[in-house]
Amino acid sequence: MNPTLSDRVYWTTADLELLPDNGNRYEIIDGELFVTRAPHWGHQQSTGNIYQELNIWSQETGLGQAA
**Structural domain boundaries, residue 23:** 1-36
Do 30 and 16 share a structural domain? yes
Do 7 and 30 share a structural domain? yes
Reported as a pLDDT band with limits 50, 70 and 90, residue 36 is confident
The C-alpha atoms of residue 39 and residue 27 are separated, in whole angstroms, by 14
Q: Residue 5's pLDDT is what?
A: 59
Q: Residue 22's pLDDT is what?
A: 87
- CA angle 6/28/30 to nearest 5° reads 45
Do 51 and 22 share a structural domain? no
Closest listed residue to residue 26, CA positions, set 40, 42, 38: 38
